[in-house]
Amino acid sequence: MQGVIKSYDPSHGDGVVVRDTDLSEFELGPEALEGSVFRMLRQGQRVQFDLDDRNLAVDLRLGSEVDMTTPGFPPEAALVEPAPEAL
């Protein structure tokens, strides 16, 4: 899933992420940043995440606008195909 950080409190590790597809809000799980590249999160930061069995956001990771199929950006495959003159 993909979404945007709505809030994050680094002193407690509490936060909320909003899913892009339906604007559902999910609290961050206590282990949400474990093993990720994130040390902190900022409001508005785009992330990819999974939900655990408690419906908490976990496994936060980076994603580019292309990875997240943001409108206005071409699909990933379009970026890796070489131009015809390059062949």
- The CATH number linked to 7 is 2.40.50.140
Give me the pLDDT at residue 11, please. Answer: 87
Q: What is the domain extent for residue 11?
A: 2-86
Question: pLDDT-derived band of residue 62, with 50, 70 and 90 as boundaries?
Answer: confident
Distance from C-alpha of 18 to C-alpha of 9, rounded to nearest angstrom: 16
Question: What is the pTM assigned to this prediction?
Answer: 0.70
Q: Which long-range contacts (CB under 8 A, 24 or more apart) does 14-19 make?
A: 15/41, 17/47, 17/49, 17/57, 17/60
Residue 54 has pLDDT above 90, yes or no: yes
Total tally of structural domains belonging to the chain: 1
Q: At which residue do the structure tokens 């379009």 appear?
A: 78
Question: pLDDT-derived band of residue 56, with 50, 70 and 90 as boundaries?
Answer: very high
Give me the pLDDT at residue 13, please. Answer: 85
Give me the pLDDT at residue 12, please. Answer: 87
Query: pLDDT digits over 28-38, tens only?
Result: 998 888 888 78
